[in-house]
């Protein structure tokens, strides 16, 4: 059903108003029609009612159509407005359209079809314009909101950038402090170690057992502290991206044997067997021997530290002419898979409590991870709680000078490059041993 339209006719000529009324009725438009005879009355009713369309005679007794249109616009009354013009008023009609009239119609051409068409068109155009205006308004509001949000985001970004700079500066100062303090502490520590060693020599006179015991304790504690200081110093260097590899050709089996020999006395104290198997066609590798030794020392001292009984195996083999692997296995307390990721983070230990059983800084694996990445290698870990752990380091036989000399990658926080066993199938049991007497590595 067609909607009933509310229409206003503004014309001082009774006959003209009647013509419009009759013509609209002839067109069969359902409507409520109001009629007024001058501009002021038109303004009054338009303020009160919402009309769907107004037919306005241009020549009104109190004002012309243009003045009335201006008044309506200034009052923000928006209505489809069709101006009825006399013969020869075409120029005026153009002015009226510019001022905001929706359309115009010469009175001489008033037919029911023409009037109905102009009425429907005007209403359609007006409603479309209104919708566009609403959408435009919404767009403007959204735009303003976006601008505000953008400004807020920009402020937050600046704030975060500032915080970042402060954090970077704090991290730099911390690394600098760590490097300086550990460096400064190393000199007196070396003196303590050196003089304790001298005091233990027989040529400096006989010591009582008690004195000897005390000096040995000073020496051992000094050595432990020096190891700790070296770890902190390395960590600070890695963080500051100042650690470089010094690669050379060396015999990897010698470095492995020497690291194992150094660890043997500690293993013996805990009654642990320390077994080595080196199966290489070519013993020579091109890498930094000091850093390879450091990796071995760390893995071996962890294996001894976290194993109460059983065995520790060290195995070195080549899986291709270009790849050498070093494996350190133990029958220790093991590591739960949920901790695999964390133990490679700096200062992270499975047991972080102050009453923890095992000493250490939590830096060893973080340093190993950085070194292995600098060497272009990979770390694999396989472990099972209560059964033992296996750390496998895969290294290129020849480190490339670019990776060795390039900036240190920095301490790894997300542990990419470390490979964890998908399920904990770690099994160092005797039945799983190869003919060499070492367990099969299911890698
Ligand atoms: P630290 O040994 O100084 O605590 P690391 O970075 O070398 O630091 O090791 C981090 C943690 O990983 C250790 O505290 C321990 O919880 C775990 N972990 C490392 N190696 C072993 C291992 N062989 N067996 C069991 N746990 C280990």
Structure tokens, 253: 């089996």
| Ligand 1 contact, 427 CB (< 6 A) | no
- Quick check: 438 pLDDT over 50? no
pLDDT for 352 equals 61
pLDDT for 287 equals 95
Mean pLDDT over each residue of the chain, to the nearest integer: 86
- Give the model's confidence band at 339: pLDDT under 50 very low, under 70 low, under 90 confident, else very high: confident
Q: Which residue has the higher pLDDT, 2 or 342?
A: 342
Instruction: Give the list of residues 6+ apart from residue 159 with CB closer than 8 angstroms, or none.
Output: none
Distance, CA of 185 to CA of 288 (rounded, Å):
26
| Ligand 1 contact, 302 CB (< 6 A) | yes
Tell me how far the alpha carbon of residue 299 lies from the centroid of ligand 1, in angstroms.
9
pLDDT for 171 equals 82
| Ligand 1 contact, 303 CB (< 6 A) | yes
The three-class DSSP label of residue 10 is strand
Are 309 and 271 contacting, i.e. CB atoms less than 8 angstroms apart?
yes
Question: How far is CA 316 from each of CA 11, 233, 275, 280, 281, rounded to the nearest angstrom?
Answer: 109, 29, 12, 7, 11
Please choose from 353, 357, 362, 392 the residue to mutate so as to test ligand 1's pocket, defined by most ligand atoms within 8 A of CB: 362
Structure tokens, 16: 């003209």
Which protein residue has the closest C-alpha to ligand 1 atom 25? Answer: 334
Q: What is the pLDDT of residues 205-222, one digit of tens each?
A: 788 999 999 999 999 999
Other C-beta atoms lying within 10 Å of the C-beta of residue 112: 15
| Ligand 1 contact, 365 CB (< 6 A) | yes
Mean pLDDT of 91-111: 87
Q: What is the pLDDT of residues 255-314, one digit of tens each?
A: 999 999 999 989 999 999 999 999 999 999 999 999 999 999 999 999 999 999 999 999
- Give the model's confidence band at 251: pLDDT under 50 very low, under 70 low, under 90 confident, else very high: very high
- Which residues does residue 284 pair with via DSSP β-bridges, in sequence order? 251
The three-class DSSP label of residue 350 is coil
Give burial (CB, 10 Å; 0-12/13-18/19+) of 61.
exposed
Which protein residue has the closest C-alpha to ligand 1 atom 4? Answer: 362
Are 387 and 359 contacting, i.e. CB atoms less than 8 angstroms apart?
no
Which protein residue has the closest C-alpha to ligand 1 atom 16? Answer: 350
Tell me how far the alpha carbon of residue 381 lies from the centroid of ligand 1, in angstroms.
12
Which atom of ligand 1 has the smallest separation from the CA of 363? 6
Q: What is the pLDDT of residues 363-397, one digit of tens each?
A: 899 999 999 999 999 999 999 999 999 999 999 99
Structure tokens, 228: 């700790």
| CA 149 to chain centroid | 20
pLDDT over 90 percentage in the chain: 55
Are 7 and 33 contacting, i.e. CB atoms less than 8 angstroms apart?
yes
| Ligand 1 contact, 289 CB (< 6 A) | no
Tell me how far the alpha carbon of residue 390 lies from the centroid of ligand 1, in angstroms.
12
Which protein residue has the closest C-alpha to ligand 1 atom 1? Answer: 362
Mean pLDDT of 48-62: 92
State if pTM tops 0.75. Answer: no
Q: Which residue, 414, 442, 417, 418, is CA-closest to 428?
A: 442
Q: What is the DSSP letter of 169?
A: H
Mean pLDDT of 401-410: 50
- Cα-trace Rg, the chain: 46
Angle of the 209-239 helix axis to the 364-374 helix axis, nearest 10: 50
Which atom of ligand 1 has the smallest separation from the CA of 365? 6
Structure tokens, 187: 């000199």
Q: What is the pLDDT of residues 2-14, one digit of tens each?
A: 789 999 999 999 9
Q: Which residue, 29, 188, 13, is CA-closest to 117?
A: 29
Tell me how far the alpha carbon of residue 364 lies from the centroid of ligand 1, in angstroms.
8
Which protein residue has the closest C-alpha to ligand 1 atom 8? Answer: 362
- Quick check: 177 pLDDT over 80? yes
Tell me how far the alpha carbon of residue 196 lies from the centroid of ligand 1, in angstroms.
30
Tell me how far the alpha carbon of residue 301 lies from the centroid of ligand 1, in angstroms.
9
Mean pLDDT of 187-207: 88
| Ligand 1 contact, 384 CB (< 6 A) | no
């Amino acid at each position: 059903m067609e909607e009933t339209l509310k229409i206003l006719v503004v014309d001082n000529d009774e006959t003209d108003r009647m013509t419009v009324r009759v013509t609209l009725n002839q067109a069969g438009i359902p409507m409520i029609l109001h009629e007024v005879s001058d501009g002021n009355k038109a303004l009054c009713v338009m303020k009160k009612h919402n009309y769907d369309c107004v037919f306005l005679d241009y020549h009104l007794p109190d004002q012309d159509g243009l003045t009335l249109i201006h008044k309506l616009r200034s009052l923000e009354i928006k209505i489809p407005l069709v101006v009825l013009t006399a013969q020869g008023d075409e120029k005026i009609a153009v002015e009226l359209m510019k001022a905001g009239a929706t359309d115009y119609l010469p009175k001489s051409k008033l037919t029911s079809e023409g009037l109905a068409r102009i009425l429907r068109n005007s209403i359609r155009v007006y409603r479309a314009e209104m919708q566009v205006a609403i959408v435009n308004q919404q767009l403007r509001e959204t735009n303003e909101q976006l601008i505000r949000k953008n400004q807020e985001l920009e402020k937050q970004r600046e704030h975060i950038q500032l915080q970042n700079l402060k954090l970077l500066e704090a991290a730099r100062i911390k690394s600098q402090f760590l490097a300086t303090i550990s460096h400064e502490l190393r000199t007196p520590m070396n003196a303590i170690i050196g003089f304790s060693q001298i005091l233990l020599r027989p040529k400096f006179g006989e010591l009582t057992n008690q004195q000897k015991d005390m000096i040995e304790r000073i020496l051992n504690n000094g050595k432990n502290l020096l190891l700790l200081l070296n770890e902190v110093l390395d960590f600070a260097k890695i963080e500051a991206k100042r650690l470089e590899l010094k690669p050379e050709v060396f015999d990897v089996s010698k470095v492995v044997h020497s690291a194992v020999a150094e660890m043997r006395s500690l293993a013996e104290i805990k009654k642990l067997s320390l077994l080595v198997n080196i199966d290489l066609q070519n013993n020579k590798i091109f890498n930094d021997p000091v850093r390879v030794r450091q990796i071995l020392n760390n893995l071996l001292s962890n294996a001894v530290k976290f194993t109460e009984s059983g065995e520790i195996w060290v195995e070195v083999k080549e899986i291709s002419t270009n790849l050498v692997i070093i494996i350190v296995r133990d029958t220790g307390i093991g590591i739960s898979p949920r901790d695999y990721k964390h133990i490679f983070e700096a200062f992270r230990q499975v047991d972080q409590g102050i009453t923890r059983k095992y000493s250490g800084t939590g830096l060893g694996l973080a340093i190993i991870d950085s070194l292995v990445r600098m060497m272009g290698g990979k770390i694999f870990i396989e472990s099972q709680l209560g059964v033992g752990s296996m750390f496998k380091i895969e290294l290129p036989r020849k480190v490339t000078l670019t990776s060795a000399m390039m900036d240190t990658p920095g301490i790894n926080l997300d542990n990419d490059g470390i490979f964890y066993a998908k399920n904990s199938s770690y099994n160092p049991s005797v039945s799983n041993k190869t003919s060499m007497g070492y367990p099969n590595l299911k890698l």
